[in-house]
Structure 1
Amino acid sequence: MAAISAWFWNERFWLPQNVTWADLAEVEGGPQYPRAGHVLSVLPLALGLFAVRLLFERFIAKPCAIHLGIQTGGPRRSQPNAILEKVFTSITKSPDGKRLEGLSKQLDWDTRKIQRWFRDRRNQDKPSTLTKFCESMWRFTFYLYIFSYGLRFLWSTPWFWDTRQCWYNYPYQALMPDLYYYYMMELGFYWSLMFSQFTDIKRKDFLIMFVHHLATIGLISFSYVNNMVRVGTLVMCLHDASDCFLEAAKLANYAKYQRICDTLFCFFGFVFVTTRLVIYPVWILNTTFFESWELIGPYPSWWLFNGLLLVLQALHILWSYLIIRVAYKALVRGKVGSGKFHPLHVLKDDRSDVESTSEEEDATSGSTKVLRSASSNGANRINGHVISGQWAEE
């Protein structure tokens, strides 16, 4: 075990030349630096955030949803049928034409009636609009809070105005209390999302989102242990900016305030594209590649760090393209059909939305999946997201 630990914490990988872990050791009365143990201490905070979420959804989000007219009842329940239930649970949730004909003869039911049964049965396993509203309201509240906090904190820091300050005297940069709080809150939030996956209604993208949250936690932890926290705060704040608009648009969509929904979607698209395709490469990649090369020089974990940021930029390009394409198609459909622009019709969550007809499901599943992948983030992290939109969705 000691050999594995020594190999993993090899100073020549993690730290610049001529720097050792002993140089960053905690000294009484001296400066404090990020430590690996801090990452583990965030777990109680994550549990606390999870508990706060449950209370928030029950006593704040749910009353708001009811006040807005969102029904508390879930999808219509299917008629009890042992034969169809066995097929649904053991064979397939969407029977093909041949199986439908066989079931029709066996039950003496019309095939369309059987299709409706399977559709209703699938809907039973999906969360109601009320549930989704409460979840989005919690995410919106947290993203708005953490973005506001991060922006207020960074506004008073020198590296917000001059990114070269991220690398002066690196890695001997003392850990500020506000910076520590900012990092731990972000990290704790994503740990809480990991916990909630096992208590929420199971969705078909469970494994994908699990990997997404795990990657996010890994990247935030990596930048913290490596003391690249100054530039890390810039990345987190930049990615949080669009998540607020995405969750707000979902809330308006669930409450059926379509014009507000469309407006918020436009803001989301503009902020997403601007922050990820303009500000991110000009502001973040410029300092992590060129300014850091000039001031501290490359070393193994530096290459890994920048490699992950480049992968994230590639994903930014993909997500932006998908968002623009979906918005464009919605605009064209709106003009041709009714003269109205409803881009957030595609914001429905394909993991959980209630089906209305089989034909509608086929027609809309493509666009919903596109925006789901674009906003999975919500937005928002290799997500660090390396899978998601926030460096560390959506």
Structure 2
Amino acid sequence: MSRRRGSSIGKFELGDTSPSLSTMDVSKHQRQKSSERLISLAEKPTTDKQVLKKLWLSYLELCYRQTWIHPLTVLLATIGTYLISNPEGKIHQFLEKCIFPSYPIEGTDQYGKGENDFYFVAYYAIFFTFFREFMMCIFLRPLAYHFGITKEGKVKRFMEQTYSIIFFGTSGTCGLWIMSKLPIWFFQTTPMYIDYPHKTHDLYFKVFYLGEAAFWLQQFVILILQVEKPRKDHYEFVFHHIITVALIWLSYRFHFTWMGLEIFVTMDISDTFLGISKTLNYLGSPIEVPFFILFMLVWIYMRHYINLKILWSVLTEFKTVGEWELNWITQQYKCYISQPIVFGLIAALQLVNLYWLFLVFRILYRIAMGGPAKDDRSDDEDEEEEEEIKKDQ
């Protein structure tokens, strides 16, 4: 399939999606080790020891090619150990904390909070690693080839953005559904303070919130571990992830989860439209420019109007609506200490979003001035990447 040269829409550095294990650059050392394994596997084994070595090398090579196998192994080993272990034993009880939500309140549909939630988040960070890598390797890479995307740089970006559509589209929809059952439906701010503190939640709310925490923890770890050439907005990207993780933990610990839910939804929905906009560019769709403009409107409404509305409520309603005191016994933390912290973290997130909005308007300007314009990551760079890989091989 003949493909046209892409516009800047698909390549501008914007959004919350970190690289995955399967889209990281493969080092020369990794490729060399793979070649050595393939040479060893081609040799005919003559002893049992060599057969075992060949099985081990086959497993390593398979994991090198299919990055979802390692996390799946951890998940299966965990579930298997849980099922066969003594229900009264410490191992079984520990794994139960990892696999299932903790602190159900007897006689109600509510769940409390506690240190066991850290185990749950850590375990499902591993799950999201598996799920993401599985989708990348098994479905999204073949899908990219199916649509005629062959340059490795574009394939990787297509995979990342298509996965973001899957995850953020699902989580944004779930977040809206959960919000619809609460007084804060459609981003109301006053109920966040009237009913504070929110010390318990139903199962759906708790799983959603901790699931978001697990996703962002996984994203943050991958971002720290990634070895590819950093994006041009690398520091802003890292700063965004640090602020996001801090907001999640502090909002959960100090019971500002209704506010956190609203911010989650604004991020997830806007990222869904961002992923669709970029993917349409990679596919060379004729509606990429109209959809880019739609994405801009959604981004401005969600990431700026709604978030500024929440910021304004922190200034005007945080103190005047509901109780205003610091009481560690009753877990009442809406006070003179938490107000500047809450405002500062959301404002910091807003600063990163404003920087990304500047990039959005820069792309719009380039489109208005006559169409595609060269951006920081060009198709020529993709060709250079492929050429370098060929030389190493």
Shorter-normalised TM range: 0.5 to 0.7
Aligned to 2:356: 319
What is the CA deviation profile of residues 318-343 of structure 1, one whole-angstrom value per residue up to 9, with x for unaligned ones?
A: 433442243123212x1xxxxxx45x
Q: Which amino acid aligns with 2:323?
A: I
User: Partner of 1:279: helix, strand, or coil?
Assistant: helix
1:44 paired with 2:123, answer yes
1:203 paired with 2:229, answer yes
Say which structure, 1 or 2, has more relative contact order (CA 8 Å, 6+ apart): 2
Aligned to 1:9: none
Q: Which amino acid aligns with 1:63?
A: P
**How do 1:1-394 residues align onto structure 2 when only pairs under 5 Å count?**
32-71=111-150, 74=152, 128-160=153-185, 162-171=188-197, 173-197=199-223, 202-205=228-231, 209-257=237-285, 259-282=286-309, 284-294=310-320, 295-297=322-324, 298-332=335-369, 334=370, 341-342=371-372, 350=377, 354-355=380-381
Aligned to 2:331: none
Q: Where does structure 2 lack aligned partners over 5 or more consecutive residues?
A: 1-102, 325-334, 385-393
Distance 1:53 1:36, change over 3 A: same
Rounded Cα–Cα distance in structure 2 between residues aligned with 1:39 and 1:299: 28
The structural deviation recorded for 1:222 is: 1.2
Distance 1:195 1:285, change over 3 A: closer
8 Å CA contact 2:176, 2:265 repeated in 1 = yes
What is the CA deviation profile of residues 230-283 of structure 1, one whole-angstrom value per residue up to 9, with x for unaligned ones?
A: 1110111012221111111221222222x232222111111111223323223x
- Residue identity over aligned pairs, in percent, reads 23
Rounded Cα–Cα distance in structure 1 between residues aligned with 2:112 and 2:376: 41
Q: Which amino acid aligns with 2:350?
A: Q
Rounded Cα–Cα distance in structure 1 between residues aligned with 2:220 and 2:316: 35
The structural deviation recorded for 1:67 is: 1.4
Q: Where does structure 1 lack aligned partners over 5 or more consecutive residues?
A: 1-24, 75-127, 335-340, 359-394
Rounded Cα–Cα distance in structure 2 between residues aligned with 1:287 and 1:35: 28
After TM superposition, the score normalised by the length of structure 1 is: 0.60
Distance 1:29 1:300, change over 3 A: farther
After TM superposition, the score normalised by the length of structure 2 is: 0.60
Distance 1:357 1:230, change over 3 A: closer
User: Partner of 1:35: helix, strand, or coil?
Assistant: coil
- When the two chains are superposed, the root-mean-square deviation of aligned CA atoms in Å is 3.0
Rounded Cα–Cα distance in structure 1 between residues aligned with 2:211 and 2:254: 18
Distance 1:55 1:349, change over 3 A: farther
8 Å CA contact 2:240, 2:352 repeated in 1 = no
Rounded Cα–Cα distance in structure 1 between residues aligned with 2:200 and 2:360: 40
Rounded Cα–Cα distance in structure 2 between residues aligned with 1:163 and 1:202: 41
8 Å CA contact 1:33, 1:175 repeated in 2 = yes
Q: Which amino acid aligns with 1:213?
A: H
Distance 1:349 1:220, change over 3 A: farther
The structural deviation recorded for 1:200 is: 5.4
Aligned to 1:90: none
What is the CA deviation profile of residues 344-365 of structure 1, one whole-angstrom value per residue up to 9, with x for unaligned ones?
A: x57x673x8642899xxxxxxx
Distance 1:318 1:53, change over 3 A: closer
Rounded Cα–Cα distance in structure 2 between residues aligned with 1:145 and 1:301: 31
The structural deviation recorded for 1:228 is: 0.2
Rounded Cα–Cα distance in structure 1 between residues aligned with 2:300 and 2:137: 34
Rounded Cα–Cα distance in structure 2 between residues aligned with 1:33 and 1:207: 36
User: Partner of 1:299: helix, strand, or coil?
Assistant: coil
8 Å CA contact 2:165, 2:275 repeated in 1 = yes
Rounded Cα–Cα distance in structure 2 between residues aligned with 1:179 and 1:223: 14
What is the CA deviation profile of residues 141-172 of structure 1, one whole-angstrom value per residue up to 9, with x for unaligned ones?
A: 10111111111111121122543221224225
